[in-house]
Structure 1
Amino acid sequence: MLISEILHDKNITDAPLLGDHLAMDLLNTEARSGDKIVDYWTSDAAVLRWLGQNDIFPAAQQRALADGELLSQAKALRALAHQLITAFKQQKTPDISELNTYLHSYVSAPHLAPDSDGKLEITRLSCGDTAASMLGQVAEAVAQLLVEGDATLVKQCEHPDCILWFYDRTKAHKRRWCSMATCGNRYKAAQFRKRNSD
């Protein structure tokens, strides 16, 4: 399947993009459904589609990767990001050497293109021919969070059945839910039922 076909395949169930930061959305490619963990990355195609949803596109001239290579590298980066972000949140000094491996393999070039409103913007395209390079922009987002982020604004949804992460950009920094429409309302409904059953 061509990359362009993968990016427009509506049959693929997508990870939620609720994190308000690319590094948080990386962690949210795993979620919970009941007592099961759902991994939205089940194939190279799923990773490519997620990258495309985040406006990250590999270079047009990309060497063919071995089956599962991108998936394996993406899951390794996600596990590393989880470890680093957890340490950051706990204000511990993490081992950044593995993240630097992704960052050093990220070869990119500026690219001028119109945005969704037709206004020109400069983005960066991955020019490397490795899976690690294709994930370089994601690794860079994790690095930027560690350098520029506020650890107190890195949060996980407070709903007991949810494991999604977000960066709290609200004015008062009191966001509690990955999404008020889902977890917030579910929690409020459960609390209402609990009060009325007493």
Structure 2
Amino acid sequence: MSSFLALADEPVLDFLNTVALVDGQPADTLQSDSDVLAWLKQFGFAVPSATNLKPNALLHATRQLREVVRPLIERRAEGKRIHPEALNDFLAKSPSYLTLTQNKLHRIYPTRTAEQLLTPLAEAAAEFLATADFALVRGCESSDCILWFYDRTKSHQRRWCSMATCGNRHKVAAFRQRQQRA
């Protein structure tokens, strides 16, 4: 897949949005290791030029990370206490270290395992869970959509994952309903 949905205004939520409803059924846009690498690249995560991982190891680890992060996001959005042990376990598998070049610090992530390759994404999820304003983290209001977004609009009144899709469908349905009543 060459381009992934980028509508959540937050890469961690766009990561969750790699599963969407298609004809009422969950559909995963990540189907291969190359899909994962393309997604990481599209969303600005470091991607090594070559990996020596077993086939589908990266896909499996990515799906595992996504399903560790999903309930944490859902619970925080509901204002409930989270249990981050599984995410912490994932992070513990992924050591990194800082290097200094001239006057800049760079974080180096070893990539001997799939989990290590996903360290920047796992760290982004942990940081998001720790620092985001969860009053602005929402699921799309469309009854046939499971996508998430971070409402960075000025009025904080965003209701849809995308006005072009779910928002428009809602407006058309409301218009038809008004027409039927008239």
In structure 1, which of residues 131, 150, 156 is the aligned counterpart of residue 139 of structure 2?
156
| 3-state SS in 2 of match to 1:155 | strand
Aligned equivalent of 2:116 = 133
When residues 156 and 106 of structure 1 are mapped into structure 2, their CA distance, relative to the original with a 3 A threshold, is: farther
What is the CA distance between 1:125 and its match in structure 2? 5.6
Answer whether contact 1:110 1:125 (CA < 8 A) is retained: yes
Aligned residues: 178
Query: Is residue 62 of structure 2 the alignment partner of residue 74 of structure 1?
Result: yes
* Percent identity of equivalent pairs: 39
The answer to whether the Cα contact below 8 Å between 2:40 and 2:46 also exists between their aligned partners in 1 is yes
The TM-score, its normalising length taken from structure 1, stands at: 0.81
Q: What does 1:1-198 correspond to in 2, within 5 Å?
A: 12=1, 14-60=3-49, 62=51, 64-104=52-92, 105-107=94-96, 126-198=109-181
Shift of 1:123: 7.0
Once the two structures are superposed, what CA deviation does each residue of 1:133-172 show, in whole Å capped at 9, x if it has no partner? Answer: 1111111121112111112111011111111100111111
After superposing on structure 2, the runs of 4+ consecutive aligned residues of structure 1 that deviate more than 4 Å are: 108-112, 121-125
Say whether the 8 Å CA contact 2:142–2:166 is kept in structure 1. yes
Q: Distance in 2 between matches of 1:44 and 1:97?
A: 26
Aligned alpha-carbon RMSD (Å): 2.2
| Separation (CA, whole Å) in 1 of partners of 2:115 and 2:66 | 12
Q: Is the 8 A contact 1:102 1:139 kept in 2?
A: yes
Deviations 1:8-33 (A, max 9, x none): xxxx2543111111110111000011
